[in-house]
Every structure is written in structure tokens, then in C-alpha cells.
Chains A and B, each alone.
Chain A
Amino acid sequence: MIPKTGFNFAGIKLRNPLILLSGTAGYGKELNEMIDLSRLGGLICKTITLLPREGNPPPRTAETPSGLINSIGLENPGLKAFIKEVIPYLKNLSLPVMASIAGDKKELALMAKKLEETGLSGLELNLSCPNVSGSAFNPVSPADLHKTIKAVRQSVKMPILAKLPPDLFRIENLVTAAEDAGSNGLTIANTFPAVIFDVQKRKPVLGGVTGGLSGPAILPLSLYLVFKARQVTNLPILGSGGVFDGPSAVSMLLAGANAVGLGTVNFFRPDAYREILIALEKYNTL
């Protein structure tokens, strides 16, 4: 349900269930100049890491049928610069903001602690970026995922959302592991690992070779993941992947999500929220 006065999502008060997803909304500034952020429910910042990362070599993006493959490589200014230079701006935005963090479990726990002190609304743990090497960043097994989330849970009291990998065959196990470890909510899921080739040059298109697929192309897969997750948990779910219009947003709620993520759509229809809000209003009153 979407009460007019807002609703509680994983301990975060949202005006409505539309959340701008990490990596597609920058640090709020760019979109704030383009759209009315006070119409959205929340914003999750681009993922930060403990130390700055320069990101992957270009080309970093490639278009596919109804999709986009990116290999940005977690380019970010690092925790220190984020706290000093970005957070003061975020605090003036007209919607709740969450930080997104990536790293090994020790780094995540440390970053979470520092970010809790800043008073941000919540934290998303990016446990599934396809564009960084090293399994420490991507705990692919339910057991590793549990350990990582547990480490953060023990470090902070603030709301945390675990952003799960789009593992079509183990999603239920990942959900259960995240819930047991104390996650307040789940973001399901992330971009799907993907690769694309330039047939003229006979080599991969992206500078980082592989990337993550997003956009309307992945909608049915994201819906499947949310649908399967809902069968094993009562945790709030932020359904994420491929929503671009009213029907796709309503589908996400039908699959079992409580909040709807807007991601790649921000790149091509940054004002899609208008149409989506109307569709969600209708859905709620029918």
C-alpha cells in the first residue's frame, strides 16, 4: 500500500515507493537539476568504496536491444571525500538518501560505522557489482553473504538493505542468508553479468571486457527474482531491474516488491516517474 502520508520501508520513511537506484542517480546533484526530487520516495547514491577508485577504461557502456551493458568499475571518490564533499549536499535534498557501499566485510563494517555518524537515512550493501574483480567484493555463496552482512549488522544499528546478486537459481538461499544475518530489507537484484562483442574488430566492446546488463531487457528476470524471494521472506523488498513505465512498475509490486527502483530509465526517461506515480495510484485504488 502507498499511504498518502508516506510509508515505512525497512525503517526508512518514504513519501512513495519510487527509489532512484544506486549508480543511476549519481550523488543527487545531476538529477536535482533535471527533475523534482520531492516527487520521489528516496535516492540511493552511487556506490562508494573505502579508497577512491578511478574506474574501468573506456568504452564503459554499450547499448543492446532494450538494454544497456555497463562496465564503469565502481568509479568513486572514496569514503573520506564522500563524507566531506558529498554528504553536506545530500542533506539538503528533498528526499531520504541512502549511501551504497562496497568492499570486503571489514571495510564494509568500518564504512558503515562512519556513515551512521553522518545521519544518512540508510545503507545499501552492494554485494553484487559485476564490474570489480575479487570475490571479497562479491560474496556469491549464501554462507559468505551471511558473514558479510553480519559484520555490518554488528557494526551499525541504522537500516541496511542487502543488494543481492541476480542469481536465478539460488535466490531463495541468498534471501534467507541475508535475513538471518540481520538485513532490514533487500534490493533485488543488480545488473546481470554480461558481455558483448564487436564483430568487425572481433573483440569485446567494453574496456572492462565484461559488464552488467540493465534496462527493460532484464525486467522479466528481475520480476522472477523478486517473485521467488517473496515466497521465502517477509522482509521489505526494493524491486530493481528494468522498470521503465507504469505497467513495469506495477508488475514489480505484483511480483512482491514493496518499493520500486528506477535505474537505467533515469538515463533515457528521467521524467518517467510522473507516469509511474499515476500508474501506482491507480493500482492502489483498484
Chain B
Amino acid sequence: MMVETAEIRENHKIASPSYYRMVIEVPKHFQARPGQFLQIQVESKTTDPLLRRPFSIAGLSENKVTVFYQIKGKGTALLSRRQAGEQISFLGPLGKLYPIVPGPKIILAGGLGAAGLLFLAKNLSADSENEKPIAILGCKTKEDLFFLRDFQALDIPTYCATEDGSFEFKGLATSLLRKKIKERSKNGIIYACGPNPMLAAAGKIAKEYGWSAYFSMETMMSCGTGLCRGCAVATRNGYRLACVDGPVFPAEEIMWGKNDSENGV
């Protein structure tokens, strides 16, 4: 892994209030697998913001990487102003993969957590040796469901849960998860990314039904490369780093009480 330069191909708003999709053309040798992420330098001409920002790889085809983001602060605001044709520096691919194991699979995405899971869903849907997954997308309201078409295009059953009931299932994504697990007899695997309270609840459900679960943890990250040891995740084996030991962790290893309940996903 080296410091790399890519060319921005697309960078535009895809939904309100401020959701963006960016496509960058990466060097030919670049390879990545679902679960991995990039550390992108949002702007090279300033030291404020100082740090690169981590983005899940939502797709990779023909040397083009897709990432999704929401404007949350100074960094993402600057990134949203970058134009197609400009060069952008990134580190990556970084982090560990979602492990692919046999059995029924449920992809559980809360909010922007769907980004990295879209890459996983695409690979699983094209994998003839593995059972096709189903996807559950959880959001506050139907306006946030901008990933729905991307998942549907993969030809996998996709279900939505909106907290306000404005689209499909009314309630939390984890309530829908419980329902879908009950409909399946065999023990399976949950792949999830989203707000920590959602992951904590999904971890409990997985345990209750004897399913295994792998969660991508989103934390404040400074370097993304294991140098600063900042992105600590409390696990049963002590603190582990989201950037190099994760971001994907087996659910049963995560100590929920010791991790920040608001991870800003």
C-alpha cells in the first residue's frame, strides 16, 4: 500500500440533505475487496482540515472506485467542492475484509453504512458458489433510502425499514432483521454496518438465534494505517484498531459498553 493519486470522475449530490457519490479512477494495479476502505485527502492545499478522511469502498470496477459520503463537517464540505478531472490523493486499500463463509446471509445496513455493504452484496450476488444474500436497509425516512436502487439492481431480495413508516416496514432495521432470521431455519451470517446502537442490537439477535455476525466498525480515525493507534475498538481481546485489525470484527468480540454509542454513521 502506497500513497496513491486518483482522478475524480464524478462527484455529485445524490440525495438530500447532503448525500454525495464520488467516483475516482485509481491506478491499474489497485485491487480491493469488500470491507476495505480508503483514506482520502479532501484537499491538498490546506492543513485545515489536517487529516485524511476514511471512506468505505462501495464499488470497484474497471479501475473506478465509488464512495458515498454525507457532508458532516469541514472535511466533507471541502470534498463536495472537488470537481471531476481534478487529482486526489488517497491511501489504500486499507483494513480487513468481510469473511465469506457458507450459509444463509443477511446484509444489514444502517444509513450510510450501506456503502461498504453494497460492494459486498455485489460480490456475493455474482458468486455462484455462495448462497445469495438478502439485504435489509434501515433509515429514518424514505428520503434516506437512496441505496435502494443500487441493491435492487443486484437482483437480491432487498427489504427496507423506515423509522417513520414512510416506506415498507415501520420500525427499526433490527426488528425486521429478527423477522427475517425467524423465517430462515439454518444458522447463517449477518454482515452489518451502521450506528453502534443498531450493531449492538443486531449482535444480541445473532447470539439469540445462533447466527454468526461480522460488523464493520466506524470510529474517529486519524491515520488509517496503524501508526497513531487512535481508532481503538474495545474487544474481548483488549483494544484493537479499527484501521488495521478491522474495520470488520466478529460481533461477539466487541465490548459494546466500552465503545462510544454515537459513532456518527
Instruction: Specify whether A and B are partners.
Output: yes
B142, CB-defined interface residue at 8 Å = no
Q: Cβ of B234 and Cβ of A31 under 8 Å apart?
A: no
Query: B225 — which chain A residues lie within 8 A by C-beta?
Result: 30-31, 34, 267, 270
B232, CB-defined interface residue at 8 Å = yes
Q: Cβ of A58 and Cβ of B227 under 8 Å apart?
A: no
Interface residues on B, range: 20 to 34
B153, CB-defined interface residue at 8 Å = no
Residue interface mask B200-236, A partner, CB < 8 A = 1: 0000000000000000000110110111111111100
Q: A55-B239, A72-B228, A215-B47 are in contact. Are A267 and B222 (CB under 8 A)?
A: yes
Partner of A72, one of B50, B226, B230: B230
**Once the chains are docked, how many angstroms separate the CA of A90 from the CA of B223?**
21
Query: B259 — which chain A residues lie within 8 A by C-beta?
Result: 58
B253, CB-defined interface residue at 8 Å = no
Residue interface mask A7-40, B partner, CB < 8 A = 1: 0000000000000000111100011011100000
User: Which residues in chain A, 210-237, are within 8 Å of chain B measured between CB atoms?
Assistant: 215-216
Residue interface mask A31-54, B partner, CB < 8 A = 1: 101110000000000100000001
Query: B2 — which chain A residues lie within 8 A by C-beta?
Result: 34-35
> Which residue of chain A lies nearest to B73 when distances are taken between CB atoms in the complex?
A63
**Once the chains are docked, how many angstroms separate the CA of A271 from the CA of B259?**
32
**Once the chains are docked, how many angstroms separate the CA of A266 from the CA of B3?**
11
Query: B231 — which chain A residues lie within 8 A by C-beta?
Result: 58, 60-61
Residue interface mask B230-262, A partner, CB < 8 A = 1: 111110001100001000000000000011100
Partner of A70, one of B41, B50, B52, B228: B228
**Once the chains are docked, how many angstroms separate the CA of A54 from the CA of B236?**
12
Interface residues on A, range: 35 or more
Q: Cβ of B238 and Cβ of A54 under 8 Å apart?
A: yes
Query: A270 — which chain B residues lie within 8 A by C-beta?
Result: 3, 91, 225
Q: Cβ of B239 and Cβ of A75 under 8 Å apart?
A: yes
Partner of B219, one of A59, A66, A72, A268: A59
Minimum distance in angstroms from B77 CB to a CB of chain A: 14
Minimum distance in angstroms from B115 CB to a CB of chain A: 22
Minimum distance in angstroms from A55 CB to a CB of chain B: 6
Residues of A within 8 A of B (CB): 23-26, 30-31, 33-35, 46, 54-63, 65-68, 70, 72, 75, 215-216, 244, 264, 266-271
